[in-house]
Amino acid sequence: MPVNAGYEYFNAEGEYAKARTIDEKIAGTELMIKMAPKHKSSENLLALLRNRLKKFKEGREKARKTGKSTREVIKKEGFQIVLIGPPNTGKSSLLAHLTNARPKISIHPFTTIKAEVGTLDYHGVKAQVIDLPSIGSPGCDIGILNTADLVLIVLAESKEYETIKPLLMRIQGEHKIIITKQDLLSEEANRKLQATIKSKKIPALLISTHTGEGIEELKGYIFKTMHVCRIYLKEPGKPVTHIPLVIPENTTVRGAGEKIYKGFSAKIRETRISGPSSKFANQKVGLLHILKDKDIVEFHTN
């Protein structure tokens, strides 16, 4: 990203991308600040990093003061996805497919006794995924359905849908039914299932964690539900950054600037866009121009 950034900086960036706990994120950001080149053209980057570091430290301080261990209490971090369903449907297997978490997976029902949390990274866009203990187990606290942005109801057979119906009333955000273990169905059974889903208008996706079928579609669906765009910042005359800035859909150039840090947009002298929102590469646009997913944005500042 920055001018003449050495490989140490890119290594630090990589470390940061892997960070999961708040302490790791703080350490990663500190390293990026240390390794970033220090001259005028990297001022924006440094400001962004210092701002991020400040926020992480404040968050850590707050968690300490309230006496809550960040491990036991699930703190909502950004977009939150909850996996819920009957025993043995493959919730933990799905968590392992979507995220960095490595939960216990077993043929025995009720193996998951407390909620497990992982981070989904979809091309640089992160979401928190929570694997709840199965319905019917004491650890299955459905209170979390009130804060979840997306609830994935994981079933292994479509007939389980009936038993899950009362739960649907509790869900505030979006939901989708995920029917797992597609690999166990014959082609015929699969066709029938698809037909039932269509005729009953069940919002369902079919997957298999064993063959990977449907997993990419599921990730794509999750990304769509998040209503965000990824934009890639570029400094004049330099290569494009590979870690996106994630902004809400329909954000303007000004809004994206403010996302870098508060007050940044006032410094923008000129903005050049290449990508889906531009008519041609390197198009000059105004502050009210609306950005689209995968735009490359080049800010020229005073």
Ligand X SMILES: Nc1nc2c(ncn2[C@@H]2O[C@H](COP(=O)(O)OP(=O)(O)O)[C@@H](O)[C@H]2O)c(=O)[nH]1
Q: Which two tokens stand for residue 113?
A: 């006794």
Q: Which of 196, 171, 200 is nearest to 85 (CA)?
A: 171
Number of residues that bind Mg ion (CB under 5 A): 3
CB nearer ligand X, residue 184 or residue 281: 184
User: Could you say whether residue 168 binds ligand X (CB under 6 A)?
Assistant: no
Report the site for Mg ion in 70-129 (rule: CB under 5 A).
91-92, 112
Residues 205-264 that bind ligand X (CB under 6 A): 208-210
Q: Which residue, among 237, 254, 240, has the nearest Cα to 294 in the 3D structure?
A: 240
129, two tokens: 């995924």
Q: Does 88 bind ligand X (CB under 6 A)?
A: yes
Please identify, using beta-carbon distances, which residue of 105 and 240 lies nearer to Mg ion: 105
In 3D space, the residue among 53, 61, 59, 56 whose CA is nearest the CA of residue 34 turns out to be 53
| Residue 252 contacts which entry, Mg ion, ligand X, none (Cβ below 5-8 A, type-dependent) | none
Site string for ligand X, 101-140 (x = CB under 6 A): ----xxx---xx---------------------x------
Alpha carbon of 133 to those of 93, 109, 154, 280: distances in Å?
13, 10, 12, 50
Give whole-number Cα distances, 124 to 119, 246, 287, in Å. Answer: 11, 8, 25
In whole angstroms, the minimum distance from the beta carbon of 242 to ligand X comes to 32
208 binds Mg ion per the rule CB under 5 A = no
CB of 91 to Mg ion, least distance (A): 5
- Neighbouring CB atoms inside 10 A of 28's CB total 21
| Secondary structure string (H, E, C) spanning 29-51 | HHHHHHHCCCCHHHHHHHHHHHH
Q: Which residues bind Mg ion (CB under 5 A)?
A: 91-92, 112
Q: Which residues bind ligand X (CB under 6 A)?
A: 87-93, 105-107, 111-112, 134, 180-181, 183-184, 208-210
